Amino acid sequence: MKIDTDVVIIGSGIAALQAARVLSQKFDVHIVTKANITNGSSYKAQGGIAAVTSSDDFTSLHIQDTLDAGEHHHSTENVEALVEKGKDAITQLINDQFSVDRKEDGGISLGLEGAHSKPRIIHSGGDATGKALVDHLIEKLPQNVIVHEYELAYELLLNTSGECIGVKTKANADEKIYFASYVILATGGAGAIYSCTSNCSDSYGDGIALAFLAGAKIADMEFVQFHPSLLYIDGKSKGLVSEAVRGAGGYFVDESGRKVMEGVHPLGDLAPRHITAYEMYKEREKGNEVYIDISQIVDFEKKFPTITKLCEENGISISHKRIPIAPGSHFLMGGVVADCFGHTSIPRLLAVGEVACTGVHGANRLASNSLLEGITFGRLMAENLLKYGTKQKNFQQIQTNRRTNSLELLPAHTVQNEMLAHAGILRDREGLNRLVKILPTHEQYFTIDLSKLTRKKIELIFMHISSTLVATSALTRKESRGAHIRKDYPLKDDYWKKKWVVFEKGKLNVKDELYEQNQITNNVKAVF
């Protein structure tokens, strides 16, 4: 089945929905998502939206907090755009009747989270901000936005000029080809390549794999953020315990009640995530269980209804005032190289949200900047397309030479366990070399013809691609920075301070610059 349209968006999270809402003013839009429209990390997000809205806060402080948390491995220009344009995006959202939590006097209730110098976190429904925001954006979708659920996108189509002109999808036994003037990747991250994650169980990095196979630039894949506090029971992660719990007065303790973060970092329990996650990891490696003590939080059930329900469903009573936790994969700072307008190294292919590497998160994302990114850059990208977007006229496909149907793959659970063991919070050359040996090389994936494979097999290949990119990048970067911690290279190295590990068209390179500015049809195209 063939469908002709203006824009195809792959993914259905906050970035996708925000972009679709704005683009619908001019374009017909099709959203393709591989599960239910609400089945994504956006919908599960307990944290809020970081934005400067109070009179005693300043964008300069938010920018500095973002740079400090990410250890200055950023595109400063894009960080400034995120924070400064983010104020307007959030104001517009509230003006569109998005309900936010407020104080008794009617002012916006602002929470404090890790590595923020000021309370600036906006919530909706306590710890259900993601759900509230997704529901709000879905409600705002007009009729010229068509949603296709349970379709897996498996191949991007390029024309003879090297432009993206569409995508192939699978839905059970049915296949579709979408031809469009623009294709937008908004597929989220790749947390499920690890056995312990806060992400959805099918978050394999699909969009990154799609772009990689199409030859787009991919960068920063070594930077995987681990959240310090996933509810952890009987050796399994059960869901996220938001950082807002610690912002409200919770703190990390071991079995004896010792405060784990005391004396470790000036911000204590609200230190950047890569630091708190590493400390929880070290405690558990010693054989110690770790918890969040919530005894100082008044009205916990009212403030955190989602977490309360999650605990109750898993047999943990809030009355005990301790929540058992462990660190787990949470957010990928790397991805498809893009600017703040979504432009990638492939013309007419755009990327927004967690799937994109825009340089706004550096080596470690600041808490609650992810929902801000989806709302802000989703809007910026869409408004830019409304202004400069043009109809595609060349739909003559370039032919690929992928003829192999076989590739030696590991079972999914083996990949997840091996990745957690060797490319998780703490890495070293021996473990990363093991991963590189048992996974296919990044060059090998280009021989596979995905059209003949089942949906399950394609997802397994996407998982392998994401894992290979993470492991290879982590092996290449010989230093510790942010969420990338090497046991054999424990310190930051100035040589690596402004260098990016980049994949493009099957080749790996280390680059000195994130962007070169190339003017293409009135747009700035993201290239290295």
Residues that are catalytic? 273
How far, in Å, CA of 364 to CA of 357, rounded?
A: 12
The alpha carbon of 296 is separated from its chain's Cα centroid by a whole number of angstroms, namely 32
Q: Helix, strand or coil for residue 520? A: strand
Residues 6 or more apart whose CB falls under 8 angstroms from that of 445 comprise 212, 213, 407, 461, 464, 465, 468
How far, in Å, CA of 165 to CA of 396, rounded?
A: 9
What are the CA-CA distances from residue 404 to residues 156, 391, 451 (Å)?
18, 34, 11
388-394: list long-range contacts, CB under 8 Å, 24+ apart: 388/521, 388/522, 388/523, 389/26, 389/27, 389/181, 389/182, 390/181, 390/521, 391/6, 391/181, 392/159, 392/163, 392/165, 392/180, 392/181, 392/182, 392/348, 394/159, 394/160, 394/161, 394/163, 394/165
Name the E strands within 313-358.
322-332, 335-337, 349-351, 356-357
Residues 6 or more apart whose CB falls under 8 angstroms from that of 189 comprise 41, 199, 203, 205, 331, 332, 335, 354, 355
What is the b/e burial string over 93-119, where b = at least 16 CB atoms within 10 angstroms of the residue's CB?
Answer: beeeebebbeeeeeebebbbbbbbebe
